[in-house]
Amino acid sequence: MTTTVLAAGDHFVLPRLLEGELRAAAPTGAHLDVRTIQLPWPHTPFGPVAEVDEASGDEDALIEALRGARICLTQLAPLTERVLKSCPDLELFCVSRGGPVNANLAAATRHGVAVSYAPGRNAVATAEHTLALILAAARGVGDVHTDLKHGVWRGDYYDYDTCGIEIDGSVVGLVGFGAIGSRVARVLAAMGATVLVHDPYVEPGVVAGVAEPVSLDELLSRSRIVSLHARVTEETTGMIGAAQIASMPRGSVLVNCARGALVDYEAVCDALDSGRLAGAGFDVFPAEPVPAGARLLSTPGVVLTPHIAGASREVAHKAARIVAGEAGRFLRGEPLAHCANPEVLGG
């Protein structure tokens, strides 16, 4: 029996990566008809498609490519109610991201389609990028880089009140201790930092030997550097605003490589202008791309990157490998490792 699979890649997780990993993970002797399409991201920003968010491509093209397919491997293809109704042969939709935000999970469950995802695919890359932003923000790299590119040699950065701080000996607070936050914690501890962690979902014993678990209020009041690694929920949306920043030591640094919705960026700009914050580093924003007139773009002390913390070649390979592994398990009749709606499979 031949199984038709669609590898709906993009310009990051390439179709050929998905197909290659699929063929490596498939059961011996499996007959696969692998189709490929290439979605336009990141050359065209992702966004809402029908009722799903952070998707790339359009429903019509996906419906045509999925005709007769049992399995779809993708990063950003939109799994919508309309796609599901139009593709009755589909049984497994594998999203190579930390969460299947581009899939209508409730509709997939109603239509009997299992949806899997790829947790931890970018943990190493994002942890490394977080450390880069922490170091850059703590030492004012963003401003001096811009000055030097414009021919200005800022020797005054040796002024005591202007120069930055070291990681060694600093108290660093991490909000979230998952796959990314835990990696950041281990590196910071190895650099000589005292690491505090606030994560209500992690048992205190998990952080033992690496960090000290504390309340969010205590973390903010003690930490010279704060880095965010939390998911966006009702409780965490806007969790760092004017009041929270005011409770941090004067001259602190704030870094966010998680999600823009966690932070009130106007409050950050106010704090940078007043000197309450000495620096900040952001890879994520409330609106992406950042609007041309956004205050962050002109506020001194900020290091900005365009949501690229997870952009490494290794991440693309890991993402393809994780979803291909799910397809392989599905073809062998084994339980999926990362199924978002296990009830579809009787789990």
Amino acid 275 reads: G
Catalytic option among 23, 231, 288, 317:
288
Element at 286 (helix H, strand E): none
Q: How far apart are CA 142 and CA 140, in angstroms?
A: 6
The token pair at 95 is 């999203």
Q: Is 307 known to be catalytic?
A: yes
Q: Is 266 known to be catalytic?
A: no
In sequence order, what DSSP letters do the residues of 302-340 get, joined into one string?
EEE--S-TT--HHHHHHHHHHHHHHHHHHHHTPPPSSBS
Q: How far apart are CA 83 and CA 107, in angstroms?
A: 10
**Which residues, at least 6 apart from 132, have a Cβ–Cβ distance to it below 8 Å?**
none
The token pair at 306 is 């365009």
Tell me if 137 sits within 8 A of 253, measured CB to CB: yes
The token pair at 199 is 């994560």
Q: How far apart are CA 236 and CA 188, in angstroms?
A: 24
The length of the chain in residues reads 347
Tell me if 26 sits within 8 A of 328, measured CB to CB: yes
DSSP conformation class of 297: G
Catalytic option among 121, 183, 307, 338:
307
Tell me if 330 sits within 8 A of 336, measured CB to CB: yes
Q: Is 288 known to be catalytic?
A: yes
The token pair at 288 is 């992406």
Sign of CA dihedral 250, 135, 183, 45: positive
Q: How far apart are CA 60 and CA 62, in angstroms?
A: 5
The token pair at 274 is 């007043």
Amino acid 107 reads: A
Catalytic option among 198, 229, 259, 338:
259
Tell me which residues are annotated as active site: 259, 288, 307
